[in-house]
Amino acid sequence: MFSVRIHGRGGQGVVTAAELLAHAAFAVGLEAQAFPSFGSERMGAPVTAFCRTDDRPIRLREPIAEPDAVIVQDATLLHHVDVFGGLVADGYVLINSARDIGQLGLEELLERHQPSRIVTVPASEIARSHTGRPIPNAALLGALAALCGLVSLDGLGEAIEQRFGATAAAGNSAAARECFELVRSGRPLSETAHA
């Protein structure tokens, strides 16, 4: 079983991100379950969504307390919400930010976890450049695909196509691809962002 917890704010497509991820996992033959943190959150409030994948049917119905990966869609949450709570030692972290881990004040994270698995991506900017809107969810999933190989870019593309209208789907797929390449290339991400 592999579990992902996604943190963001209402309006940033957090729940959609979990569903896209589940869809993409299903597309590569995995069982997948996505669910939101079930709040009555309004626009801008912290929101959490979860995605579990496994190669056998998933029966578990508890929230994800010990994620294998954490996606932070909004870096302003970093110091308000315990976004890394329970993250497994060899877990992955993906943060939507144009700044690097050091600039975000998260060096401590690098000490506790494997530094190569902790990545920031300027997903909002990338999403904006492809879709005109700074909704980073699909872009971040592209980055996740590169980071941990849970899903393929094709599977993600399929999920995106199912979910969005043609134009939005094309833009989001492109954003996901760009983030995928970015993480794949292993370039220091902060540099890319400033370029």
Partner 1 sequence: MRKQLEGSQAVAQAVARCRPEVVCAYPITPQTHIVEALSRLALSGELERCEVVNVESEFAAMSVAIGASATGARAYTATASQGLLFMAEVLFNASGLGLPIVMTCANRAVGSPINIWNDHSDSMAMRDCGWIQLYASDNQEAVDLHIQAFRIAEALSTPVMVCMDGFVLTHAFEPLDVPSQEQVDGFLPGYEPRQVLDPDDPMTIGAMVGPEAFTEVRYLAHAKQIEALDFIPQVAEEFRERFGRASGGLLDSYRSEGAETVVVALGSVLGTLAEVVDELRDQGVAVGAVALKAFRPFPLEELRGVLGGAQRVIVLERALAVGIGGIVSSDVRTALAGLSVEAHTVIAGLGGRAITRRSLHALLAQALAGQLPELHFLDLRTDVIERELERTRDGGRPGPHAESILRDLRIVASGPV
Q: Which residues bind partner 1 (CB under 8 A)?
A: 18-19, 22-23, 26, 31-36, 38, 40, 58-63, 65, 159
Residue number, 38 or 45, with CB nearest to partner 1: 38
Q: How far is the CB of 78 from partner 1 (least distance, A)?
A: 24
By beta-carbon proximity to partner 1, the closer residue of 66 and 107 is: 66
Residue 31: CB minimum distance to partner 1, A: 6
Q: What is the nearest approach in angstroms of partner 1 to the Cβ of residue 48?
A: 12
Three-class SS of the chain: CEEEEEEEECCCCHHHHHHHHHHHHHHCCCEEEEEECCCCCCCCCEEEEEEEEECCCCCCCCCCCCCCEEEECCHHHCCCCCCCCCCCCCCEEEEECCCCCCCCCCHHHHHHCCHHHEEEECHHHHHHHHHCCCCCHHHHHHHHHHHHCCCCHHHHHHHHHHHCCHHHHHHHHHHHHHHHHHHHHCCCHHHHHHC
Nearer to partner 1 among residue 80 and residue 187 (C-beta): 80
With respect to partner 1, which residue has the nearer C-beta, 40 or 166? Answer: 40
